[in-house]
């Protein structure tokens, strides 16, 4: 199944669970795309002793998971895209939703 995952939070436990879901779904053979929106564009470096979001982002990237980050949201935080979370547009988000069999939002 093709799953599009939209993450809009940098709240540790929610973002951690969203990325754990993405990793687990990818390892289970599903096609996964993640789109980061709003404050979620900050999750690549989000660490916490119990909810290490950055480690889950890294794990997802290492299994060839695709993460897209909202360019407008990055720019509003004076951030740029990275190799793991490249800058994308709202059109890319729409295309992900059209591509997906199901879309999940965290």
Q: Is pTM, for the whole model, over 0.85?
A: yes
As a whole number of angstroms, the distance between CA 83 and CA 73 comes to 17
Best CA proximity match to 44, nearest among 22, 76, 67, 13: 67
Give the domain ranges of the chain: 2-105
Q: Per residue in 84-101, pLDDT tens?
A: 999 999 999 999 999 999
Say what the pLDDT of residue 98 is: 98
- Which CATH code is given to the segment(s) 2-105? 3.40.1260.10
Pair 88, 68: CB distance under 8 Å: yes
Q: Per residue in 25-54, pLDDT tens?
A: 999 999 999 999 999 999 999 999 999 999
**Reduced DSSP (H G I as helix, E B as strand, rest coil) percent helix, strand, coil of the chain, to 5:** 45, 20, 30
Say what the pLDDT of residue 71 is: 97
- Three-state SS at 56: helix
């Amino acid at each position: 199944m093709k799953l599009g995952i939209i993450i809009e939070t940098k709240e540790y436990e929610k973002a951690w669970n969203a990325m754990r879901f993405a990793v687990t779904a990818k390892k289970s053979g599903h096609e996964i795309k993640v789109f980061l929106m709003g404050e979620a564009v900050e999750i690549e470096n989000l660490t916490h002793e119990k909810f290490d979001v950055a480690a889950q982002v890294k794990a997802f990237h290492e299994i060839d998971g695709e993460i897209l980050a909202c360019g407008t949201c990055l720019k509003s935080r004076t951030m740029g895209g990275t190799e793991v979370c490249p800058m994308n547009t709202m059109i890319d988000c729409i295309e992900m939703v059209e591509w997906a069999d199901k879309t999940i939002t965290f």
